[in-house]
């Protein structure tokens, strides 16, 4: 493991901190980001000028990319390279089932193992190294990479052997998170309308059956304080719940709640572009015009 050479492509809000934690754990890491590697590379990493250069010098390449089309473009570029050392791609992005399956097939045809391994925990978890990784790929590949994965994660779950398995768990998780944030916003607004202080109602809920991640973290630490700094963009949560809805429809599973939740998040994203997703509370309490 110590002799393996690792690469990281995508040094944004999540990728940058994860790459920094890999370096801090003592692993050899080369990095590239299309938006500017020199400015984004963590201390101790080796910045490279292109994806081609990265693929030529690493054994395992981590990806942290914004969406399915970008991941598929990268997969095609990697598959087309003649001069490459990379043999395993671990995709930490949230891209949906079909994109993961397609990326897996593109890379398999080129002799590269693709691992569908999305993460949860937000930017704060990425910085702290406490994210959850949902591994969709062979168990033996996971064991080879366990040490480097645990440099970025507190929880590592092998959820299945195939590309798409990781995405399935990530999408249902983010759907539940987005639903909890929206529902808690409405519940808190109701409580405040009756003269109950936000802290008081949260204290009760957090030792009762309505407790969720919004009541236990987002509201006391991000909304009540007025910081709205969970580190996850509304547009990304909107993308994820939309992917959940699309994939649930394709699977033929119930979508009644998802239809409402996705519509709400899309309207919030349109009204509050580039916002932190905790600001859905402001969107709802400032009277959504379509309600």
> Could you give the 3-state DSSP secondary structure of residue 158?
strand
The active-site residue out of 170, 218, 235, 239 is: 170
Note if 170 is an active site residue: yes
Reading the block at residue 149, the tokens are 């994965």
Residue 222 DSSP code: I
* Cβ neighbour number for residue 166 with a 10 Å cutoff: 29
Helix (H) or strand (E) holding 181: helix 165-193
Radius of gyration of the chain (CA): 20
Helix (H, G, I), strand (E, B) or coil at 197: coil
Q: Which residue has the tokens 């399935």?
A: 168
**Distance of alpha carbon 210 from alpha carbon 180, whole angstroms:** 10
Q: Which helix (H) or strand (E) holds 7?
A: strand 6-9
CA distance 228 to 91: 28
Residues 185, 224: Cα–Cα separation, whole Å: 11
Scanning the structure block, which residue is given the tokens 């995709």? 91
For the chain, helix, strand, coil in percent to 5 are 55, 15, 35
Mind telling me the catalytic residues?
A: 170
């Amino acid at each position: 493991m110590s002799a393996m050479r690792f690469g990281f492509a995508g040094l944004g809000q999540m990728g940058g901190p994860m790459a920094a934690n890999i370096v801090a754990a003592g692993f050899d890491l080369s990095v590239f980001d299309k938006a500017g590697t020199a400015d984004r590379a963590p201390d101790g990493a080796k910045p490279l000028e292109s994806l081609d250069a990265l693929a030529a010098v690493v054994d395992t390449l981590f990806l942290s990319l914004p969406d399915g089309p970008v991941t598929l473009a990268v997969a095609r570029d990697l598959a087309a390279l003649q001069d490459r050392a990379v043999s395993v791609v671990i995709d930490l992005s949230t891209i949906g089932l079909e994109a993961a399956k397609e990326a897996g097939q593109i890379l398999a045809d080129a002799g590269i193992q693709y691992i569908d391994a999305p993460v949860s925990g937000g930017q704060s978890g990425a910085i702290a190294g406490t994210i959850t990784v949902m591994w969709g790929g062979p168990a033996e590949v996971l064991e080879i990479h366990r040490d480097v994965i645990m440099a970025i994660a507190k929880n590592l779950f092998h959820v299945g052997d195939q590309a798409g398995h990781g995405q399935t768990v990530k999408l249902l998780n983010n759907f539940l998170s987005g639903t909890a944030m929206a529902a808690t916003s409405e519940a808190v607004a109701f409580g405040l309308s009756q003269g109950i202080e936000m802290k008081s109602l949260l204290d009760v809920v957090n030792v009762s059956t309505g407790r969720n991640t919004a009541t236990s973290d987002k509201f006391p630490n991000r909304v009540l304080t007025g910081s709205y700094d969970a580190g996850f963009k509304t547009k990304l949560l909107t993308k994820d719940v939309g992917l959940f809805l699309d994939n649930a429809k394709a699977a033929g599973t119930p979508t009644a709640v998802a239809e409402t939740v996705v519509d709400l998040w899309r309207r919030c994203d349109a009204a509050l572009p580039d916002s932190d997703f905790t600001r859905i509370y402001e969107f709802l309490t400032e009277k959504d015009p379509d309600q």
